[in-house]
Each structure stands twice: as structure tokens, then as C-alpha cells.
């Protein structure tokens, strides 16, 4: 399997580019999650179980 990867003859740039894009995406998502407001996380996590929440989408 690794011999096929080594014998790409110029296709290494695609492998390196895809790996870099993968890594950059997950680093950005990780930074976003670390910097996310904790109060917002608490409100969003309690949404499905709050009983005093009014129904926004009611059937007519």
C-alpha cells in the first residue's frame, strides 16, 4: 500500500495539500470551541429539557 503512495510521480502535492487542509480545519474548529462563550453553551445544552420554554412553531 505504501509503495503505491510513493510511486505517484508528482501526486504528492495532492496528498500534502489534503492533509494540511484537514489539519487546518480541525485546528480552527478546536480554537472556535475553546473560545466559545460558556454561558451560550449552558443555554444551548438546556434547551431540550427546559419546561418553561414556549413553543415557537405551533400548528394552526
Predicted model pTM = 0.53
Instruction: Report the C-alpha gap between 22 and 30 in whole angstroms.
Output: 12
Arithmetic mean of pLDDT over the chain: 78
Domain chopping of the chain, boundaries: 23-47
Residue 60 predicted with pLDDT over 50: no
Q: How high is the pLDDT of residue 27?
A: 97
Question: What letter would DSSP give residue 28?
Answer: H
Q: Is residue 31 within 8 Å of 21, Cβ to Cβ?
A: no
Hunting for cell 502535492 — which residue is that?
13
Instruction: Identify which of 1, 27, 26, 24 has the alpha carbon closest to the alpha carbon of residue 16.
Output: 24
Q: How high is the pLDDT of residue 14?
A: 82
Instruction: Report the C-alpha gap between 10 and 28 in whole angstroms.
Output: 29
| pLDDT band for position 30 (cuts 50, 70, 90) | very high
Instruction: Report the C-alpha gap between 14 and 20 in whole angstroms.
Output: 10
Amino acid at each position: 500500500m505504501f509503495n503505491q503512495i510513493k510511486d505517484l510521480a508528482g501526486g504528492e502535492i495532492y496528498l500534502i495539500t489534503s492533509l494540511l487542509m484537514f489539519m487546518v480545519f480541525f485546528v480552527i474548529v478546536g480554537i472556535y470551541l475553546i473560545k466559545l462563550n460558556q454561558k451560550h453553551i449552558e443555554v444551548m445544552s438546556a434547551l431540550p429539557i427546559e419546561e418553561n420554554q414556549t413553543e415557537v412553531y405551533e400548528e394552526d
